[in-house]
A and B are shown apart, each in its own frame.
Chain A
Amino acid sequence: DAKTTQPNSMESNEEEPVHLPCNHSTISGTDYIHWYRQLPSQGPEYVIHGLTSNVNNRMASLAIAEDRKSSTLILHRATLRDAAVYYCIPANYGGSQGNLIFGKGTKLSVKP
């Protein structure tokens, strides 16, 4: 399983962009990069995933390095509701769907 490194915490101001980095230098060629987040007192929720190309959805964008050893989750305009712990999770695409390996993640604080 690929090991990930994320900052323990980050701060942002409301309505400013946030770039959350993740290093996954041991990622395998078949692993997708998933991001989940966990709001206070809630279970994790899916944010985005990708393989090689940058990805966008209504919640965020995912920028993946060309060598796939790192990625960055981008929140274009942080809101107070985005305050959460963000987890970067390399995982096999269609295989072990139950076996999401969570690290400690990055705790994002958003200041008004």
Chain B
Amino acid sequence: DAGVTQSPTHLIKTRGQQVTLRCSPKSGHDTVSWYQQALGQGPQFIFQYYEEEERQRGNFPDRFSGHQFPNYSSELNVNALLLGDSALYLCASSSQITGLPYNEQFFGPGTRLTVL
């Protein structure tokens, strides 16, 4: 089992550009959440996708958008990049369908985005 995978590992963009980050959930998982982690801080929840729809959203502007595909993989898109968007972007997957009372989240290694 490959676990949660994310691509690319690192990315450098300039202000104003747009970026797309990708995530493949752990096998058997159907829910994907995205987090932003600034240097020295804990991860901050961006949004969660389930059944190809955004189910929850944290306090992030509309420049942050996402998508979930029928195979449960997901993309995070950020438009009009700002210097402050430089961070580690983490994807986490979990399952709604196991019937277990607790569904832990499994995190990927993240994508390091640098905005110049």
Contacts and interface: CB of A to CB of B under 8 A. Distances in A.
Interface of A: 32, 41-46, 49, 85, 87, 93-94, 96-105
B33 interface: yes
Given A94-B101, A98-B31, A98-B55, A43 B42 contact: no
B94 A43 contact: no
B4 A43 contact: yes
A98 B103 CA distance: 10
B43 A102 contact: yes
Nearest to B32: A98
Contacts of B90: 43-44
B19 to A, nearest CB: 19
A99 B56 contact: yes
Contacts of B42: 85, 87, 102-105
A81 to B, nearest CB: 16
Interface string B64-93: 000000000000000000000000001110
Nearest to B90: A43
Contacts of A85: 42
Give the interface centre of A44, A49, A97, A100 by most chain B CB atoms within 10 Å.
A97
Nearest to B94: A97
Given A43-B4, A44-B107, A49-B102, A100 B41 contact: no
Given A101-B45, A104-B41, A46 B101 contact: no
Give the interface centre of B31, B41, B43 by most chain A CB atoms within 10 Å.
B43
Contacts of B114: none
